[in-house]
Amino acid sequence: MRRPRLLAPDDQPTAVYHCYSRIVDRRPILHEADKELFRSLMVELAEFCQVRILTFCIMSNHFHILLEVPRPPEHLPGVEETLEALAKLSGAKEIGALRQQVAAFRAAGDGAAETLWLSRYHARRWSLSNYMKLLKQRFSAMYNRKAKRKGTLWEERFRSVLVEGEGRALVTMAAYIDLNPVRARMVEDPKDYRWCGYREAVTGHPGALEGIKRVVEVLLRAEGVGAEESLRSYRKHLFVEGDEVGESIGEDLQTVRGAISHEAVLKVLAEGGQISTGNYLRCRVRYFCDGAIFGTRDFVEKIFRRCRDRFGSRRKTGARPLRGMAERGLFTARALRVDVFG
């Protein structure tokens, strides 16, 4: 029996859902490259469908996404804007054919056909169901082709939970998702798991940072919280939520699930949620290979001025801070936005 889709109250402009789905037979077949592909599709399709990822976790046999779905705008995008959005999708080989189709409608003066065409694409956006359908279908097709397999990849239709978007429930759900690899005893610190929203935020990915900021604004009941404060506050919350003190103990006198040691929790709270330099740099590998210039602000700016002709004409300054490290006086010439920890 299909579970009914729960919708946000009419007075709320957005709805927040925790979505999850498992691989058929719960087989742990998603390896590093598969997780990277899923993450890439997840972000790409979120932009097209106009939904917002607050955080996520991709495991070896299932995934979790905390998703904010807004209501469709009063004025929906026109044909050209819709075609531009479609063109940004990877593997968009049919964009030329779609443009020709629209041109044919206009040449024939068939406004009704053009409106119908546009409405079909509008129906795919601002929709939880359509976003999840696109994500799972596209990933399945790409995975099956790579693995030379056929048949169903997912155990069942995705499941979702409507989450109160302005209360404690949102923060608790976000922590539950980011703590998945800790519960599974894969890592002791959620920042060390490459395929979760918190790790991605720590490494400076703009979209992930915005998602965590949204969660922290609910946690602190404040608006306009900065990136660094968001990361510190969320880290403290994660460690408190994952504290072994609150876990059940098995017959072997160990926690039933993976948990964060109480000693580590106290340490993080004492540090105010600030990640130590050594641990932070473990998450910043590419800065040391692809940062172009690395050092103090003055050093980076000096080299930037000396090599001004190697940078774009719109570039005004050279130094770009490592998120979480600027206060320690470390900068690079490139603000890495994707694959920071490649």
In order, the DSSP letters of 215-280 are HHHHHHT-SS--HHHHHHHHHHHHHHHTBGGGS-B-TTSSBSS--B-HHHHHHHHHTTTPPPHHHH
What distance in Å separates the CA atoms of residue 322 and residue 330, rounded to the nearest whole number?
7
Helices (H), 109-167: 111-122, 128-147
Domain boundaries, the chain: 79-122, 165-283, 285-332
Please report the pLDDT score of residue 9 as a whole number. Answer: 54
What distance in Å separates the CA atoms of residue 30 and residue 33, rounded to the nearest whole number?
8
Please report the pLDDT score of residue 330 as a whole number. Answer: 67
Q: Is the pLDDT of residue 132 over 50?
A: yes
Please report the pLDDT score of residue 1 as a whole number. Answer: 41
Q: If you search the block for the tokens 């998703």, which residue do you land on?
A: 67
Phi, psi of 65 (to 5 degrees): -135, 130
Mean pLDDT (the chain) is 84
pLDDT in tens, 296-335: 778 778 877 888 887 778 888 888 776 555 555 667 776 6
Half-sphere exposure of 166 (CA within 13 A, CB side): 8
Report CA-CA distances (Å) from 88 to 26, 83, 216, 249, 267: 33, 9, 31, 50, 44
Amino acid at 53: I
Amino acid at 178: D
Query: Any idea what the Cα angle at residue 250 is, between residues 249 and 256, rounded to 5°?
Result: 70
pLDDT in tens, 153-173: 999 889 888 898 877 788 989
In order, the DSSP letters of 315-333 are -----EEPTTTGGGT-EES
CA nearest 171: which of 222, 127, 107? 222
